[in-house]
Homo-oligomer: A and B are copies of this chain.
Amino acid sequence: MPKVLIIYYTLSNNTKKMAELISKGVRDTGCEAVLKNVADTSIDELRDYEGIVIGSPTYYGAMAYQVKKLIDESVKFHGQLGGKVGGAFSSSANIGGGNETTILSILNALLIHGMVVLGIPRGDHYGPVSIHSPDERSSALCLEYGKQIGMLVKKLYPCDGNIK
Contact = CB atoms under 8 A, between A and B. Distances in A.
18 contacts: A60-B68, A60-B113, A61-B112, A62-B105, A65-B71, A94-B124, A95-B129, A96-B129, A98-B108, A98-B112, A98-B126, A99-B100, A101-B101, A101-B105, A105-B105, A114-B121, A116-B116, A155-B156
Interface of A: 59-66, 68-69, 71-72, 74-75, 78-79, 81-82, 94-101, 103-105, 108-129, 131, 137, 141, 152, 155-156, 158, 163-164
Count of identical protomers in the assembly: 4
B79 A122 contact: yes
Given A101-B100, A164-B155, A121 B65 contact: no
A59 B75 contact: yes
Of A108, A122, A155, chain B has the most CB atoms within 10 Å of the CB of A108
B96 A111 contact: no
Given A96-B128, A111-B119, A113-B121, 7 more contacts: A60-B113, A62-B68, A65-B69, A97-B123, A112-B125, A114-B118, A116-B152
A101 to B, nearest CB: 5
A158 B129 CA distance: 33
Contacts of A94: 123-125
A131 to B, nearest CB: 7
Nearest to A158: B164
